[in-house]
C-alpha cells in the first residue's frame, strides 16, 4: 500500500492516479520469420495507460488499470491494430498476513512461444491469488494460485496441417507453497513446491498434462550492493496421452544485479524451464536462456547498457525440428543476441531510450534468414 501511494501523482477524490505512457518507433529487418525471404518493416507504438488505486483505511487497497496500445506497421498492414490491457485487483492485510487478488485481461500482438517468431493477435486472462503469512519473526509461508487462459485469434498459420490455435489455445492452473526463512536482514532462503495442469481446447491434439516440482534458492535485499533472486530445482511433466513424451529434469531461474562502484552495474540472468511447443509430436519445448547486461552511468541522467543473451530450445525425442512437416512456420532452435541501449532521463518520471539489437539464429529451415536487426527509439514513463 505504501509503495502504491508513493508512486501516485494525482489525488482525485478517493482515487490515487498514476498515468503511464510509451511512445516509440523502430525498424525490424525481419518482422515476420515465415520462410526463405526476410520481411523488413518500420513500426510505431503509442500506448497510454492509467493506474488508479483506492486505499480504504489502512487494511485494503483496490487497483484499476487500463492501457490502450496503438500498433502501426508500414507494410505489414495485417499487424496494425489497437490492443488493450485491463487489470483489476486488490490487497488486504495487516502485520502478519497479506492477501492479494489480480485479474488481468490482455489483447496484444505477441510471439506466443519462444520458438516462434511471428506476431499474432492473442487474448489472455491471468488470475492470480497469492497469500503470505508471517510465522514467527524469521519465517514466512506463502500460498499461490494462478489460472491462465490463452486464445489466439484467426492467425491463419498451421504446423503439420494443424492450426496453431489448436496447438496453443489452453487453460493452465497452478498451485504453489513457498516457505521463506530470513537468514539476515538482507538475505533469505526459500523452498517452493508446485503442482499444475494444462488443458487444451482442442481435445484431438492430445496435449493435456500435469506438472509438479520442487525448487530451492535465495533472495537478496535490494538495499545492498547485490540484489536479486536465484532458484534451482526439479520438475516433471506427465502427459495424459502415452503418445506424448514426458519431462524429468532440472529447471531454474536467476536474476542478480551487482553494483560495481558508483558508475557500473552488472546484471546476470539465467532461465531454464518447459513451455508449450508448436510441434504436435511434443507438447513442450525446453528453453534455456543466459546472458548479462552491463550498465554504465556517464552522468546523473545518461547511461549506456550493452548486453548479450544466448537462447536454446530443445525438443524431447526429436532429432531435429526440420524433420517435422511445417506450413508457413519456421521454428527457432538457437539464437545469440547482442544489444546496446542508450538511456537519457529527461525528468525523474520520463526516460528516452535509443536501442539496437542484432541476433543470429539457427532455425528449422536451412534457407530461412539467420540474422535479424532491430533499432528503436522511444519515450516512456518510469516510476
Share the mean pLDDT of the chain.
91
Q: Where is pLDDT greater, at 169 or 383?
A: 169
Residue 373 to residue 360: CA distance in whole angstroms: 9
Per-residue pLDDT of 187-196, as tens digits, reads: 999 999 999 9
User: 196 with 209: CB under 8 angstroms?
Assistant: no
Closest C-alpha to 245, from 210, 282, 278, 272: 282
For residue 119, give the C-alpha cell.
506476431
Task: Record the pTM.
Answer: 0.90
pLDDT at 318: 57
**pLDDT band, residue 302 (cuts 50/70/90):** very high
Helix (H) or strand (E) holding 214: strand 209-220
CA distances for 250 relative to 2, 212, 216, 234, 286, angstroms: 38, 12, 12, 5, 10
219-255 burial, b for 16+ CB within 10 Å, e for fewer? bbeeeeeebbebbebebebebbeeebebbeeebbbbe
pLDDT at 327: 44
**pLDDT band, residue 328 (cuts 50/70/90):** low
Residue 357 to residue 8: CA distance in whole angstroms: 33
For residue 344, give the C-alpha cell.
537519457
Closest C-alpha to 235, from 225, 218, 250: 250
Structural domains in the chain, sorted by start: 2-381 (2.40.160)
Helix (H) or strand (E) holding 66: strand 60-73
**pLDDT band, residue 202 (cuts 50/70/90):** very high
pLDDT at 336: 96
Per-residue pLDDT of 118-169, as tens digits, reads: 899 999 999 999 999 999 889 999 999 999 999 999 888 888 788 899 999 9
pLDDT at 7: 76
What does DSSP assign to residue 117?
-
β-bridge partners, 289? 271, 311
Helix (H) or strand (E) holding 4: helix 2-7
β-bridge partners, 170? 150, 200
pLDDT at 161: 80
pLDDT at 301: 93
**pLDDT band, residue 282 (cuts 50/70/90):** confident
User: 51 with 63: CB under 8 angstroms?
Assistant: yes
Q: Strands 350-363 and 187-200: what pairing? A: unpaired
Per-residue pLDDT of 337-373, as tens digits, reads: 999 999 999 998 999 999 999 999 988 777 788 899 9
- Percentage of the chain modeled with pLDDT above 90: 68
User: 245 with 316: CB under 8 angstroms?
Assistant: yes
Residue 206 to residue 126: CA distance in whole angstroms: 23
3-state secondary structure of 280: coil
For residue 21, give the C-alpha cell.
505512457
Per-residue pLDDT of 72-121, as tens digits, reads: 999 999 999 999 999 999 999 888 899 999 999 999 999 998 888 889 99
β-bridge partners, 86? 66, 105
Per-residue pLDDT of 223-278, as tens digits, reads: 678 899 999 999 999 999 998 889 999 999 999 999 998 899 999 999 999 999 98
Helix (H) or strand (E) holding 2: helix 2-7
β-bridge partners, 178? 142, 192
Query: Which own/partner contact pairs does 295-301 have at CB distance under 8 Å and 24+ positions apart?
Result: 295/264, 295/265, 295/266, 295/267, 296/263, 296/264, 297/262, 297/263, 297/264, 297/265, 298/263, 300/345, 301/344, 301/345, 301/346
Amino acid at each position: 500500500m505504501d509503495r502504491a501511494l508513493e508512486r501516485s501523482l494525482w489525488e482525485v477524490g478517493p482515487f490515487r492516479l498514476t498515468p503511464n505512457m510509451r511512445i516509440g518507433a523502430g525498424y525490424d529487418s525481419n518482422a515476420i520469420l515465415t520462410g526463405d525471404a526476410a520481411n523488413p518493416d518500420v513500426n510505431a507504438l503509442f500506448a497510454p495507460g492509467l493506474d488508479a488505486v483506492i486505499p480504504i483505511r489502512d487494511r485494503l487497497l483496490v487497483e484499476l488499470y487500463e492501457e490502450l496500445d496503438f500498433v502501426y506497421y508500414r507494410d505489414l498492414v495485417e499487424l496494425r491494430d489497437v490492443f488493450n490491457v485491463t487489470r483489476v485487483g486488490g490487497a488486504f492485510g495487516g502485520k502478519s498476513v497479506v492477501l492479494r487478488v489480480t485479474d488481468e485481461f490482455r489483447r496484444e500482438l505477441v510471439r506466443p512461444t519462444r520458438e516462434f517468431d511471428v506476431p499474432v493477435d492473442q487474448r489472455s486472462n491471468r488470475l492470480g491469488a497469492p497469500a503470505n503469512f508471517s510465522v514467527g519473526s524469521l519465517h514466512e509461508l506463502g500460498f499461490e494460485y494462478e489460472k491462465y487462459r490463452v486464445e489466439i485469434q484467426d492467425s491463419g498459420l498451421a504446423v503439420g496441417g494443424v492450426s496453431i490455435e489448436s496447438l496453443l489455445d489452453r487453460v493452465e492452473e497452478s498451485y504453489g507453497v513457498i516457505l521463506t526463512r530470513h537468514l539476515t536482514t538482507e538475505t533469505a532462503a526459500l523452498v517452493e513446491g508446485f503442482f499444475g495442469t494444462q488443458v487444451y481446447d482442442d481435445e484431438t491434439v492430445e496435449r493435456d498434462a500435469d506438472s509438479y516440482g520442487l525448487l530451492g534458492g535465495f533472495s537478496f535485499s535490494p538495499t545492498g550492493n547485490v540484489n536479486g533472486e536465484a532458484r534451482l530445482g526439479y520438475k516433471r511433466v506427465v502427459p495424459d496421452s502415452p503418445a506424448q513424451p514426458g519431462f524429468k529434469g532440472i529447471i531454474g531461474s536467476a536474476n542478480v544485479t551487482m553494483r560495481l562502484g558508483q558508475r557500473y552495474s552488472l546484471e546476470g540472468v539465467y532461465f531454464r524451464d518447459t513451455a508449450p511447443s508448436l510441434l504436435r509430436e511434443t507438447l513442450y519445448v525446453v528453453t534455456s536462456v543466459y546472458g548479462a547486461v552491463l550498465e554504465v552511468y556517464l552522468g546523473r541522467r545518461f547511461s549506456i547498457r550493452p548486453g548479450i543473451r544466448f537462447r536454446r530450445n530443445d525438443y524431447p525425442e526429436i532429432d531435429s525440428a526440420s524433420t517435422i512437416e511445417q506450413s508457413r512456420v519456421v521454428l527457432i532452435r538457437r539464437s545469440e543476441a547482442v544489444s546496446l541501449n542508450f538511456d537519457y532521463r529527461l525528468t525523474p518520471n520520463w526516460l528516452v531510450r535509443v536501442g539496437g539489437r542484432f541476433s543470429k539464429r539457427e532455425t528449422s529451415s536451412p534457407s530461412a534468414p539467420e540474422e535479424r536487426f532491430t533499432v528503436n527509439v522511444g519515450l516512456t514513463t518510469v516510476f
